[in-house]
Amino acid sequence: MEEREYWLSLADRLSRRVLPALAKGELKRTMPCEGLPERAAFTCLEAEGRLLLGLAPWLELEAALPAEEAALRRRVRDWALEGLAHAVDPASPDRMNFDQGAQPLVDAALLAAALLRAPKSLLGALPARTRAQLADALRSTRKIEPFWNNWLLFSALIEVALAHLGCEWLEAPISTALRLHEDWYKGDGTYGDGPLLVQDYYNSFMIHPLLIETLDGIRPFNRRWDDAYARILERARRYAEVQERVISPEGTFPPLGRSLCYRIGVFHHLAFMAWRRLLPETLQAPAVRCALGAVLRRQMELPGTFDRDGWLTLGYAGHQPELAEHYVSTGSVYFAATALAPLGLAPEDHFWSGPDQAWTSKRLWAGYDGARDRKLEAH
């Protein structure tokens, strides 16, 4: 349980600047915006949506917890609910920007996905007035035309969330996102980010987890896409294998592609698959715990990762603002919280309770024999 306590300490550290401020309607006033000045129009919704996307599985967990963890979760959940009310209330100083510029489509969708991950503790706990204002905010994003890449999944998730709010929802964004990602599949568990293959981590940041959540979320309302589920899940399991093998024996990973300032969020997909108990048979949950834990410690403990006031900074290994793309600001990097999704598994789950195991690269570099890596043969 010492490992879980460390992950909980990160959940606390990531939360304690963003969520209490938002709960008081003071996030816009107090949150810094490292990056281009114009990103201030988007950074607060980024911080809220991305942080809650990572914490929602834990907030939804229905299990007996140690008293200290239960108290922390209750406090974070209360902050989250109070903050959600401010985020969608037109009269609040912290009313978020949902429809000005293109960026709000991304983070409205990630906020929607967070609520879908916590249907009882977050979405189901919202008062009627906040639910109505949330629905209005999500509908307002329909004016934003998604780029023809992973952004199509954001429009799809908005419609899924509206369905769960009891609102009229549109089928076309969901059909378009699923159909085109099928066209963009390149083989061996990897999708193009649009028509072309891009060497980055967006298959983990967005594509695989959001495809599964779109299909899961719409199933209660329409079963027409059920035939795609097994195929998409098989690809997702293969990509989880790829992700696990990317983690070096030292808990590092290649600085490849864009959005490296999301840090441990690179492993959103592996963490998501562990939380959902969807890991392939080739991966043992305790080994995944050890691999992710190694990266968490290696990356999140480096000097400069947090500023002196406790806000996350821009960087991959410490404070490295030159690595940040034009669209990255303080709120963006709270995507790192998505690696904490396995906190949504009970302490007694095998992920947490199983004995430590070496992950693939650590085992092989130590000289132990092991099974060969195999590509995914099926289309």
What whole-number distance in Å separates Cα of residue 16 and Cα of residue 68? 16
What CATH class does 2-365 carry? mainly alpha
What whole-number distance in Å separates Cα of residue 7 and Cα of residue 341? 10
pLDDT band with cut points at 50, 70 and 90 for residue 190: very high
Q: Delimit the domains of the chain by residue range.
A: 2-365
pLDDT band with cut points at 50, 70 and 90 for residue 377: confident
What whole-number distance in Å separates Cα of residue 224 and Cα of residue 11? 37
Q: What is the mean pLDDT of residues 310-321?
A: 98
pLDDT in tens, 231-245: 999 999 999 999 999
pLDDT band with cut points at 50, 70 and 90 for residue 370: confident
pLDDT in tens, 339-367: 999 999 999 999 999 999 999 999 999 99
Whether pLDDT at 46 is above 80:
yes
Amino acid at 64: A
Structure tokens at 100: 């000005």
SS3 304: coil
Structure tokens at 77: 């959940």
pLDDT in tens, 63-101: 999 999 999 999 999 999 999 999 999 999 999 999 999
Closest CA to 52 of 133, 94, 100, 108: 108
Amino acid at 347: P
Q: Report pLDDT for 67.
A: 96
Q: Report pLDDT for 314.
A: 98
pLDDT band with cut points at 50, 70 and 90 for residue 187: very high
Please name the residues in contact with 216: beta carbons below 8 A apart, sequence gap of 6 or more. none
pLDDT band with cut points at 50, 70 and 90 for residue 379: low
pLDDT in tens, 159-179: 999 999 999 999 999 999 999
| Residue 156 contacts residue 173 (beta carbons within 8 Å) | yes
Q: Report pLDDT for 239.
A: 98
SS3 133: helix
Amino acid at 159: E
Whether pLDDT at 151 is above 70:
yes
Structure tokens at 323: 């690595």
Place of tokens 């009310």: 85
What whole-number distance in Å separates Cα of residue 1 and Cα of residue 22? 31
